[in-house]
Amino acid sequence: MKLSIYLSALVCLFSIQAFAQKNYTKGKQRNDRPISLGQPKALATDTLGFDDFFESVATVYESPGSGYSSGNNQYGDKVKAQVFVIDSSFVLKEVLLWFGAKDANSGDSNSKLKVKLHNRDGIGTASGGDVDNAPGSRIDSAEVLVSDIDIAEFTTVLFNDLILYGDFAVSVDFSQLSSGDTLGLYTTADGDASVSERSWEKWMDDTWHTMYVAWDLNVDFAIWPVIDASTSGIEEEAFFEGIRMYQSTPNPASSEVVIQFELQEYTEKLSLEIYDVGGRRIKEVRQNDINAGQHKMTVDVMELSSGSYYYSIKTATGRITKKMLVVK
């Protein structure tokens, strides 16, 4: 009888520990982008979540004892994932990751992690209870060696032009890291998630939980899918945050570039910004009182050197960013 009572107590204690909210402390923060974004490996028309992320301060939350809330830690977390809500199809070219912490102590050249694409058909726990739209069935995956990760710049993970349809998730699986290796992704500062509870983690018992439930952190991970919308009809069908923006023409450009976009609603203020691959804003054009409908802006790029650039349309409702090439 005593043994039965003792075992029951152990089960209760384990249940409390398994579902208790985790602890964290604020670690490294960055107000700037990486020194180098790296040369893009594939031409793309949008980078999902990129600009929303940099409205906040890049932060790494440390897990007391060892590890990071956005990586592997003493709690045994296996996977971190970010959800993206899209209402049309597109081609996924690559995924950008930004790690803020890397402790490579194993010395194992084969230590690696996996980056996976998921449908949103999994069972998980959010603040409102159990849901059926957590990261679920795997679409595809790619491996990244720890030795290839540099926290000074983005880590680029290539995929083979996958056509995705609607909502999806991108995850980083830390379970294959060698003992002694610890990684942590940057996140937005707590409370700065673009939409609440779109960041998820998989526990050591293979159950999914939002970061808000697990850590009381309302954050987005530095995980950004790079997509090509022009080949799949997304430009003709879908708006992102009230904006639809087409690929700049000509592309590559040499003297001037025409940027076409469409707004769902009237906006009082609009800005077009161009960034180089170091994340520096090198040109900005502002307009006021822009009606709904199609518009275009012609920008002089004569003074720009050959290379890749990001151009971004920003309004009160949101922002969308694409890439372009300049060749002299």
The domain boundary, picked from 228, 260, 283, lies at 228
Q: Taking phi first (over 0 means left), then psi (-120 to 50 degrees means alpha), and beta for anything else, what does residue 38 get? A: left
What is the average per-residue pLDDT within 64-86?
94
Q: Which pLDDT score is estimated for 91?
A: 81
Q: Which pLDDT score is estimated for 319?
A: 76
**And the tokens for 175?**
């379970």
Q: Which of 223, 197, 193, 225 is nearest to 210 (CA)?
A: 197
The domain boundary, picked from 169, 199, 228, lies at 228
Digit-coded pLDDT (tens) for 278-305: 667 889 999 999 999 999 999 999 999 9
**And the tokens for 101?**
């912490």
Residue with tokens 């979540």: 49
Sign of CA dihedral 42, 44, 49, 54: positive
The parent domain of residue 268 ranges over: 239-326
CA dihedral 149, 192, 225, 151 (to 10 degrees): -10
- Decide if pLDDT at 318 tops 90: no
Q: Which pLDDT score is estimated for 190?
A: 96
Higher pLDDT pick, 224 / 4: 224
Domain co-membership, 67 together with 100: yes
Alpha helices in 39-127 (DSSP H): 50-53
Amino acid identity of residue 96, one-letter, is L
Digit-coded pLDDT (tens) for 157-188: 988 777 787 789 999 999 999 999 999 999 99
Using CA atoms, how far apart are residues 11 and 103, in angstroms rounded to an integer? Answer: 35
- Report the CATH number at residue 276: 2.60.40.1930
Q: Which pLDDT score is estimated for 179?
A: 95
Q: Which pLDDT score is estimated for 31?
A: 66
How does DSSP assign 216-236, residue by residue? Answer: S----BSEEEEEE-TTTTHHH
Q: How many domains does the chain have?
A: 2
pTM: 0.67
Q: Which pLDDT score is estimated for 5?
A: 35
Share of residues in the chain with pLDDT > 90 (%): 55
Q: Which of 305, 303, 299 is nearest to 325 (CA)?
A: 305
Is 98 within 8 Å of 58 (Cβ atoms)? yes
Domain co-membership, 80 together with 174: yes
What is the average per-residue pLDDT within 6-20?
40
Domain co-membership, 218 together with 248: no
Domain co-membership, 114 together with 92: yes
Residue 268 inside a domain? The answer is yes
Residues 6+ apart with CB under 8 A from 236: none
Domain co-membership, 247 together with 203: no
The domain boundary, picked from 182, 206, 228, lies at 228
Q: Which pLDDT score is estimated for 4?
A: 40
Reported confidence tier of residue 193, pLDDT bands at 50, 70, 90: very high
Domain co-membership, 248 together with 223: no
How does DSSP assign 184-215, residue by residue? Answer: EE-BPPTT--SSTT-EEEE-TTS-EEEHHHHH
Q: Which pLDDT score is estimated for 29?
A: 73
